[in-house]
Structure 1
Amino acid sequence: MEHQPPIQNSPQPDDTPRWFIALLPPLPLQEQITAIKQEICDRYQSRAALRSPPHITLQPPFRWPLNRYESLLEHLSAIAQEHAPIPIQLSGFGAFPPRVIFIHVAKTPALMASQPAVMQALAERLGISDEKSKRRAFTPHLTVGFRDLTPKAFRQAWPEFRQRSFQAEFVASHLTLLRHDGQRWQIDGNVPFAGVLSPSHGQNTSNSEEN
C-alpha cells in the first residue's frame, strides 16, 4: 500500500470505541500468565489486570470511530508488513510502586526498535498519538496486577513476587488490535508481520514458573 498523507484524527466523542495495539503471547503462555493474574485477584483483591489478555503494549489506548475501522486495519496491516517477527524473552517479576506488578520483558534490540517505529507510523499515517508515551522511555512488560492493587496489598505481594522465578520465550508473529467493549479489552484482530502467512499465536519455546 502506498503511503498517503496522514489522516487527521481529531478528538473523538466519549462514546467512540477505544483501541490499543499490542504483542500477545501464544495461548498456552497466556493461560499461564492469566493464572498469575487470578492468583493476585484471589489473594489481594485486584481484578483490573484480568480485564485484558496478557500483552505487551506497543500503542496505548486511543479512540477511533467504527466507520473508519477498515482504514485502521489497512494501515495497521501495512505497518506490520514492515517488521519481522519479534523474539520475546520473559524473566522474573518487576514493579512500578505502589500499585503495579509485572513480568519483566527483555529489552532486545528488535523489540526496542519496533515499538517506536509502530508508534511513529501510526502518528504519521493515522494521526494516532499518545503524548505521555512520547515523553517516557519504553519499558516493555506484562502486567499481572495494577490499578485496583492497593498500596497496602502491593506491600504484601511484592516481597513474594520479587523472589519468584518466571522464565519464558516466544516469537511474536503478529500485531494484535484490541477493542474495549465497555467492560474489558477484547481481541479484535491480528495482522501478521512480514514473512508470516497468516495470523498465528507465535511459537512457545519454553515457559516455567517456580516459587
Structure 2
Amino acid sequence: MESYKDYLMIISPPAEVIKQISKYKRASANKIGQFKGMHSTAHISITHQQRCKPFMAEAFMLQMEKRLMSMQPVELHINGFDFFKHGNVGFTIYATVTPSPSNPAWFKLLRKQMGIKLPNFVPHITVAKNIPPSAFKKLWPYFENDKYNAVFKANTLTILHRETFVEGAEWRPFKELYFGNRLMPF
C-alpha cells in the first residue's frame, strides 16, 4: 500500500529572481539572525494539499492539467515589498507579485481551474517568514521603501511532493503542468 503524500503547488520564478530573493534573505539573516525558510528557494505558493492518497491526487492532477492548458501563460510583476501580520506573534515580509496589467483576473482564474477556494489569496514570494515583532521592527525599514521590480512569464505550475508521515521528508519535484496550448508529454 502506498503511503499518504503532501503536495505543494507553486509557480517558480526564473533564476535571476531566485538569486535576488536569496540575497534579500541572506541580508535579512545578517540583520536579525536565522529564521524559518531562510534557505528555501523563492517561489509563489498556490496551494498545499496534505495527507492525500496518491492515486486520488494523481487522478485529480490529470483533470487539472487539462484545465490549465486552456489558460494562457501570464507575465508576472514583482513590485516592492509588503508584509503579513500574524496576530501579535509574528510577521512575514514578502515581495509582492501581480499579474500583468492586461490580465488582473489571472490568479482568480487559476484558482477556479484548480478547484481551490482561497478568498484572501495574495500572490507573493516570501522573504522572511513568521519573524517575531522585534525582528520585524529591525528589518522592515530596509524593505519599506525598497523598489525591487522584476518581470517574468509564468509558463508552468510545479507540483512538489513528500511523504506525509516521514519525519524530515523533503519536497521533491513531482510534475510540471503547462499553461497554454502545449502538447502533453508522452
Query: Shorter-chain TM-score: which interval?
Result: 0.7 to 0.9
Cα distance change on mapping 1:94 and 1:45 into 2, 3 Å: same
Q: Which amino acid aligns with 1:194?
A: G
Offset of residue 166 of structure 1: 0.7
Partner residue in 1 for 2:26: 38
The answer to whether residue 135 in structure 2 is matched with residue 153 in structure 1 is yes
Unaligned runs of 5+ in 2: none
> What CA distance in whole angstroms lies between the structure 2 residues aligned with 1:43 and 1:96?
19
**How big is the alpha-carbon RMSD for the aligned residues of Structure 1 and Structure 2?**
2.8
Alpha carbons 2:11, 2:43 under 8 Å: kept: yes
Q: Compute the displacement of 1:111 (Å).
A: 6.0
SS where residue 41 of structure 2 aligns? coil
* Mapping of residues 74-85 of structure 1, within 5 Å: 74-85=62-73
Identity within the alignment, %: 23
Q: CA deviation at 1:55?
A: 1.6
Normalised by the size of structure 2, how large is the TM-score? 0.77
Q: Normalising by structure 1, what TM-score? A: 0.69
Matched, 1:189 2:175: yes
- Partner AA of 1:164 in structure 2: D
Q: Provide, for residues 117-152 of structure 1, a one-character-per-residue CA deviation record: whole Å limited to 9, x for no partner.
A: 3333333xxxxx45xx23x2x3221110112x1111
SS at match of 1:165: coil
Higher strand share: 2
Deviating more after overlay: 85-94 vs 25-34: 25-34
Q: How far apart are 1:71 and its partner, in Å?
A: 1.4
Partner of 2:9: 21
- Residue equivalent to 1:179: 161
Tell me: CA distance 1:122–1:172, structure 2 relative to 1, closer, same or farther (3 Å): closer
Kept in 2, the 8 Å contact 1:51–1:184? The answer is no
Give 3-state SS (helix, strand or coil) of 1:25's partner: coil
Q: What's the counterpart of residue 169 of structure 1?
A: 151
Q: 1:88 offset after TM fit, Å? A: 0.5
CA–CA distance in 1 between the matches of 2:18 and 2:125? 10
Unmatched tracts of structure 1, length 5 or more: 1-14, 124-128, 200-211
Deviation of the 1:94 alpha carbon: 1.0
